[in-house]
Structure 1
Amino acid sequence: MTRLSWAQVCARRLERHALSVPASATGPAPEADAVAAVVSTMCGAHAQVASAAELSVGLRVPRATRTVVRQALWTDRTLVKSRGPRGTVHLLAATDLPMWTGALSALPVASHEQSLLTPEQTEQVLAAIADALAEAELTTAELTEQVVARTGPWAGDRVMEAFQDKWPRWISAMAAATRGGVICFGPNRGRSITYTSPARWLPGFAPMDGRAALAELVRRYLYAYGPATPAQFARWLSAPASWAAKLFESLDLAPVTVEGSRAWVAAGDADFPDDRPAGLRLLPYFDAYTVGCHPRELLFPGAAADRALARGQAGNYPVLLVDGTVGGVWHQRRSGRTIHVTVEPLRTLGARRRRALEEQVERVGQILEGTASLTIGAVDVGPHA
């Protein structure tokens, strides 16, 4: 069995995430092509915070800016905004959408999703959504009106708990609609989000067979985040650990050990670099590397766990990554074109790393199309919800 050090694992993950060597930008539209390729390799960029998604991608692609990412999403449509792992909002490569919808549709369904609608009502709602969005981009209010008109007043009953409000009943089918490839996000209309049909992004779109899609998703996950255990994959996907264990058993995977603990990689993908991980990076909220990589105790060593995890949850703080592990937190505040970046390292940075940090801050400004300034000091902003 291949025995690996944490340094080897970090070095491979950094390389595959384009964090040690930036993604190559080639082709007729180099930055745009590289953006879609990077998002595919990352298994999606978390987009609950839009600027964080733009930073996640831009920090991996030379010369990419938020405009380039937005163009890939809304103009070129090489990206699609939908719900990915854990049911959270992600930017996904459009060409990966059949895999994502096939895999997500094959996941065990949580019981709470089935409490407000009967199976027959769910089917009616899904058909109504598909019909309403076939050639349209609709806000939530507009889509509610269309779904109710196609199903009945019951679909509009405000019975679904939503923070301090109530949502209409049909929204409880939103997760099933996303998994089934019936709905994705359209461009914002002012401050309102819109929804549309994935088939408008990817002509001829159809979900992959569920079993084949799950096998491909595991392979992609292990490529970017491996070695990993079934429990870690289950946590990343928000699926039952016992289900993930059976899935891993059914696939052609190879066991390895990382610092003495067993984990898995895809068969034939057990090559790891001998070089130690190196480099300094600023990663935004919910960056894929931070959220997807395990074990947590090695990725967030010592004081980093107390400072950069929120009740054990990764991603709620933007992090300073030093040689592949978390070495601090940071925050950015925008005022017009000026972006004030405060970085709180957990250890004193030498001259070389200080220069690397200054370069990263400058790059953040370029991606967000502003001018960034650096302050090294305490970050007094709490974790993102």
Structure 2
Amino acid sequence: MPTTTRTVTWSGANARRIGRQGLATPVPASPTAVPDLAATMLGAHAQVLSAAELSLGLRIEGATRTDVRTALWQERSLVKTYGPRGTVHLLAAGDVPMWTGALSAVPGRVGQQGAGIRLTAEQTDAVVAAVGEALTGAQLTADELTEAVVARTGSWAGDLVMPAFQGMWPRWRQATHTAAHRGVLAFGPNRGRQVTYTNPGAAPMEEHAALTALVRRYLYAYGPATPQHFAKWLAAPRGWANDLFAELARSAVLEEVRFEGVGPAWVTAGDTEFPEPGDAARGVRLLPYFDAFGIASQPRELLFPGKASERALADGQAGNYPLLLVDGAVAGVWHQRRSGKRVAITVEPLGRLTAGQLEELERQALRIGGITEGHAELTVGTVTVGPHA
């Protein structure tokens, strides 16, 4: 293992992360700004698509939700699919081979379904092949895809055995994430209120090369970090992440540093320049639900100091509340409610804001109005809704 070369302060690491993600100064608008930003962030969480639109729009000068939708559905420079932690993300289309190669290599959890429900390895392979074939050049709803998979595999794939919401799903759907991680399934445009799926047509990168690329990109955006940080972000086994980082360190892909509040941690070899203490993050920012910065930045207790850990986390989990950032730390929560073109934004600071910070907050609210193509009205007061409301 390389010896420790330097100490990285929390303020330096935090300022570098904020700067690289367009949160200090939004990146200039350009034809590739949206997918480039999605690549830098390692995806925008899109279980609620409007949150992903805000995550990307806030980081690009003058961007709106239409720019994100255009990149996703018309230019196809973004792909909506299952990304890190098995959750829906907008990923840069050019990164899909890396993602599918890496996610396919992450050890899966065994036995999530009961013995009478669970797919065998052979059945999983058959379903994935059927999904890939059915979705090539097509956009199918879940029901249409079920018919296509059953026709190609057998009636067993359509057995209604999986409890889901208010009903039962067919057996094959437990392989949905696997199909996405093998690169044959992604989301298509909604057909009315119905979700559709399509085949993104991007062959996965070789597993080791994909994992190496993903670790390097993760450390560029969120380093320094430990294998445990990486494992938590990816929802991967800790032991597997330890082994991966050790191998990459032996190959001189990674370089060890001492990270304030953590101890030994890692950066990509040679990527050791950090802002000086006097260049700490400054300014006021509003981040939406499940924004990548709040999810991935560690150690969490430094990003969510004091009262923020109680108010802005839900059972220790980040992402369930939109975040107010003041000088690089979580300093409150906020909520928006839309009615027509009116976007009512309520911000609850955990401490007193200066006059200058209130002015910045007003500009952030107006920016959110611009991204959502509405008219923002700001109220500073108590947020009364619960997490992920």
Which residue matches 2:227?
230
Amino acid at match of 2:20: R
- Which letter does structure 1 place at the counterpart of 2:211? L
- 1:200-239 alignment, distance < 5 Å: 205-239=202-236
Match of 1:112, SS? coil
Question: In the TM superposition, what are the counterparts of 1:67-78 in structure 2 within 5 Å?
Answer: 67-78=66-77
- Measured after TM superposition, the shift of residue 57 of structure 1 is 0.1
Q: 1:138 aligns with which of 122, 137, 140?
A: 140
Q: CA deviation at 1:130?
A: 1.1
Deviations 1:344-372 (A, max 9, x none): 00111111100000000000000000000
Give the AA of the match of 1:246.
D
Amino acid at match of 1:43: L
Alignment map for 1:254-273 (pairs within 5 Å): 254-260=255-261, 261-273=263-275
Q: Does the CA contact (< 8 Å) of 1:79 and 1:91 recur in 2? A: yes
Alignment of 1:171-190 (within 5 A): 171-190=173-192
In the alignment, which of 142, 158, 161 is matched to residue 159 of structure 1? 161
**CA shift for structure 1 position 110:** 1.2
Cα distance in 2 between the residues matched to 1:112 and 1:284: 34
CA distance in 2, matches of 1:349, 1:112: 50
Matched, 1:368 2:365: no
Aligned to 1:202: none
The Cα of 1:164 is off from its aligned counterpart by 3.5
Superposition pairs of residues 1-385 of structure 1, within 5 angstroms: 1-25=5-29, 30=30, 32-112=31-111, 116-199=118-201, 205-251=202-248, 252-260=253-261, 261-274=263-276, 275-384=279-388
Deviations 1:221-258 (A, max 9, x none): 00001111100100000000010010000112111122
Which residue identity does 1:336 align to in structure 2?
Answer: G
Deviation of residue 113 (structure 1)? Answer: 5.2
- Structure 2 unmatched runs, 5+: none
2:89 maps to a residue whose letter is H
Contact residue 113 and residue 172 of structure 1 kept, 8 A: no
Whether the aligned pair in 2 keeps the contact of 1:159 and 1:166 (CA below 8 Å) is yes
The residue matched to 2:385 in structure 1 has which SS? Answer: coil
Other structure's SS at 2:111 match: helix
SS in 1 for 2:32: helix
TM-score by length of 2: 0.95
Normalised to the residue count of structure 1, the TM-score between the two structures is 0.96
Deviates more, 1:301-310 or 1:149-158: 149-158
Q: CA RMSD in A?
A: 1.1
Instruction: Compute the displacement of 1:219 (Å).
Output: 0.3
After TM superposition, give the deviation of residue 324 of structure 1 in Å.
Answer: 1.1
Kept in 2: contact 1:361–1:374 (CA 8 A): yes
- Looking at structure 1, the residues matched to 259 and 304 of structure 2 have their Cα atoms a distance apart, in angstroms, of 16
Partners of 2:28 and 2:343 lie apart in 1 by 27
Shift, 1:163, TM fit: 3.2
- Matched-pair identity in %: 61
SS in 1 for 2:378: strand
Q: Deviations over 1:157-212 (max 9, x none)?
A: 1111223422100001111101100100000111111000011xxxxx31100011
Identify the range of structure 1 (253-262 vs 337-346) with the bigger mean alpha-carbon deviation: 253-262
Q: Is the 8 A contact 1:103 1:214 kept in 2?
A: yes
d(CA) in 2 for partners of 1:195, 1:163? 20
